[in-house]
Structures are given as C-alpha cells and as structure tokens.
A and B are shown apart, each in its own frame.
Chain A
C-alpha cells in the first residue's frame, strides 16, 4: 500500500514503537497505585514520556504534560477551562471541529472567526490584531491546517495574545513532530496534540501541554492515586486531569515515537515530507486536472487538491482500489473549507510521513495520469 493519509493517522511506525508496546503489555501496570515493581516501571515510563515531551515542546516542567486520549480530548479540556457561557472567543478560519464543536457545546459563546486567505500569514495576523479586543476571553489557533497544510503565523498571534493578556490555545495536531512547537516561547496557555500522527505513537494517545500558571478544570473526576480521602480532584498537575487508569501501554509506544522524532530531527522531517508534497503538487499541476492548494514558499506535509473532472470521493475510492490510501471530504474541518472556498466539494488530501518515498509520489502520479 502507498499510504498518504498520515494527517489522519500515521500507519507506518518506527519498529521501536511496536516493540515498546509489546514489552509494556507484559511488564507494566499503572503508576501511582501499588508500589510494586510493575507499578514502579509504569511510573518511570510515564515520567520519561512527560520529560521527553516537555523537552521537545518547551514545556516548563514534566507535570504540565498531560496524557489524553487524543488531541480532541486535550482541546476539550483547554477550551472548557478557559471559555464559559457568555464569553467571546477568537479563532482562525482554519479550525477543526475539535475546536468549533466544544465552543458550540458550551453555549452562548460569541465566536469571532478570523478569515484570512490561504497562505497569507500577514493577513491572518492583521485579522487577529483587529479581533483581539478587550472582551475576548481566549483565542484558539491551529498551527497547521489539517486540510491545506497552511502553517499559520502562530508565533505572531501568540505575541499579540501575550501583549493583550488573552490566553491562547494552539492546536498542534498537524505540526507536532514536524514543526517546532514552543509552548514557553509562545507563552501559550495550552497546546494540544495527538500521539498517533507526527509523533508516531499508537492511536488513543494525545497530549495537553499546559503553559505556566494554568490550572485547567478536569473533564473527568475519579481516582488518581493521590489525596484519596479528598473528594475534590487534586489541585495540582498532572493528577488533576488524569482520573482513572492510564493507557500506559500506548504511552510506552508514544515515548518511543517521540524519541524517534527527536533523533531524526524536526528540520529533516519537515524537509523530507515537504519535498514529497511539493513534488506531488507540481506533478498534479502538470496533469492540468486539479486545482492544487499549495504554498510554493514553505514546506508542508499536507496537500489538498480539488479534481476538476471527478468527484473527490470517487477519486479517493478509485485510488483506494489501486492500493493508494488518502482521504477525501471535509476532513472534519468545514470551517476551513468555508474560508478557502471548497465547502461544496471538499478536497482530496494527500499527507506524508517520513516513511513515504519519492518513488511512491511518482507511482501516484502515474496512476492519476492514466486515469
């Protein structure tokens, strides 16, 4: 199979990830409960993963790295900690349903959407300058659009938020493991990310990175292995947000995924994936049957196209029959399509990982050229 759906989930994982999960299943239990060797091994594993993540994403301390089920879970915690009914929130026009649905569920929230053109970071910054007014309680911005691979100017937006005292939530779902995520440098309140995309961990893992001074509210209450006589959740991290038994086996895999990314290096990863998607974009443009959304000036691991002569879903299904995996549709981000003008059809999305090759790009182009 040629797999170009890594923006959803990376299929190919480093061998060390699978080995770690398999080893953990037979050797570790849950941290913070018993004090026997299996529980201790679990505790060491969890702290190692928190520490590695804190280093990679510039989080002040390992306690501020929270294990979640996925980025959606992390975003829900962050959003519901900062936003209450009656509040006003600013979001970019490229947010995922993982952002817009929680805001809708809170109810009575005024959402100001900054609709900047695709691949025009200056316009996006200008929009945030105008939107971040005094009544705004929080801002949410995706680092990279999951539909178009557009890297939004998060550093500049974070700077604006910091100066105006508005907490910022960064959705790093498409950037974690590919671009630098700098929680401390940005001064972000929170960053959310999945473990199963660019970090090459198993599905069912995610991270919420908490900025300094944040004390989020839990989505779940329950046992934490700490302060057990107290009926309120602990007022310290990570226990406050981690009720119930952890997905330790998968965290073992995530730890190895993070180590893989650190060893390979973000610059190298971004360049490799960017070159693949650039070559694919150029090839598709040459075919003349696609509207190709790409920024020629920056690398991207995600490439969306709209076929001019075929329904996106039909094209994706046809390629699936030819053993090419990709995704068509709205990619759970209808707002991004409304902003970019592709809401009617959606797009066909190609997304790379470090396990893709130029030979695969060429093969996909041959298949598309042959119809």
Chain B
C-alpha cells in the first residue's frame, strides 16, 4: 500500500539537498567525504544533520577524495552502511579506490553531482567524470529530477547491499542544473525508509572474533576468477533493480525503470539522452509531435550495467536514433554513449541510423533548439542515407 498522503512531507529541495535528506533517512553508519562543487551541499547538509544529532552517523572529514573512498571501503568492510559524494576532479582523485571498492564488493553509495573535468578548470555540468569511471565496476544510475535523486539514493542502498550484487552504486545528478535547482520533493516518513531498507547484513565482514584477510594479492593464478565473479555480480543488477523498484513503487507509486520511454511506440526518430537532458528532449518531442513529426525519447537512467535488451526493444523499428551526450572519448570511434548504443544495436534486424551529437561540455547550455538542430540534421542524413560518426553541436566552429 502506498504511504498515506498526510504522512508524506513535501519540501522544495535542490538535487543536492534531496540526496542529503535521503541519506539522512537511510540510517548511515559512516559518511566520509571531501567537499567539491557542485556536490558540496550534500555533505554540508548531512554534516548539519550530524551536528544537530538528527543522525547517528560517524562523519569523517578526510584530507582528500582518495582518502574519502578509502575510508568508505574500510568502513564498509566492517559491515557498515556507507556513503560518500564527489564530482569531477575529486572523483578523478578517487579513481584507484573506485576499482578497489567494486572489486572488494563494497556496497557503498556514491552520490555524484556530475561536473566537467579539468583543464581548463570548469565547475559546470557534463558527464566526463561519470564516463571516466564507467569501467570501475560501479553500478551507475543517472537522475533527471530532485525527486528521482531522492528516490534513487534510497533504492541504491537496497540494490548495492543485495547479496546477489554487493557492488557500489553511483547516483548521478547533473551539476548545478539539478544539484542547485529547487524542485518539489515528496519525502517518505523515516520509519518507512527504515523498514524498506532494513539493516545491512554483511556477508563476510571484518571482525576481530573471526579474522579474515581482504584485498590480498592474487596473481596469474586467481585474479581472473575474481573478475569473473565480479562480472557475474553486475549482470544480476537488472533483476534486483526491478525487484527493488517494484517494492519502492508499492510505497510511493513512483518508478523510473532502467530506461524511461516517451512516445517511442510509433516513433521514426528517437532522441536518446541521459539525466536532465531527458526533460528537455521530452518537451522538444511534444512540440515536434504537434507539427506531425514522429519523435520519441529514451532517457537512459542505468548506464552500468547497460540495459541492452530494453534499449533495443524501445528503439524497435525506428529509422534513426539521435544520441545527445555530454562526454567525449577522445580519439574513439564515437563517444561513450553512442559506442554502447551502436554495439547494442549490432545484432538488430533493422539497424537504425545512429547519430552521435556531443553537446553541453563544460556546462554549455543545451536548449531545445539544439535538439531541433540535431533533428533537422538527422532528417537530412536519413535522406542522404549516410551520416558522420559523430559531431559536436552548440560549439563555435
């Protein structure tokens, strides 16, 4: 049964604050973090909750992000429920330990306000940081709204801590565009969240009474087998994600799916984007539909593991897929999102034309007109029957 309306508290919250409120309700044991824009408010708000005695969490203000993730791994190893937050350069400094967190199977929730990487230094949104960590073994969930950020943060713990998974989960929100934008957020009563998540049951925790060794040396003889375990664990995520979301939907009436489909059923051209761009894309699709254009939108929420089946099914018999993505993989065939989509569609019977538009780097605005520009180009490419592998839009050239 969904939670009664009078039990729900409604507030205007930024994406960061929504995540902080979610973390507050998740009964964290440890939060270790180092401040970095545009994630700062998450930890700032949480520290305030801790200072005011609203949470019983050990907050560790470490000296760097490398230490933040290291502290999280150590805490998680003891069986604690652990979270951290970062972005951009801070996330990049964590890089080594991101792989350790995933390989050591630590169910840490890592909230990220996605931001461009240096240089030149830039504090605004793109997905370079998230794409940089895409192979680390983290589950990656990208959110479109403050409400979704709140909901996803709560669900992330349940997914991460599931015994079939035991992997860290990154929850991404677009820096500033969502992290600092106030939206209406419905919040569950804390006891409902507590019941939903339960207490973490660690599988092999560090404990003085039962000593074990974690993260030892494994060379040519065993390393590969541990990677096999890890790969199989992340492949289980869709199953558990669906289960967790179904349970969450029972409480709230809200669910998001691994992908969000919007008017894709009869669409000839599909816009595919992540995070807040999904909202703009849907507005653009509405306007183009009014003009009689058959446009649909797929908003990808789960980037890792990549939901191949769902994507292929949603694309169906569309003539073209236009990908709008906020990251570059310099020197690659196409950029990260388009590479995934191209690979996913390789076995499709009616392979659509795949267009890769790189947009919004360093927080460059991606207004509806950028989508329309891409749409018009796509129509021309379809007529011609060929298209470039990728192109940049919204840059002076």
The answer to whether A and B assemble together is no
Q: Which residues of A contact B (CB under 8 A)?
A: none
Q: Which residues of B contact A (CB under 8 A)?
A: none
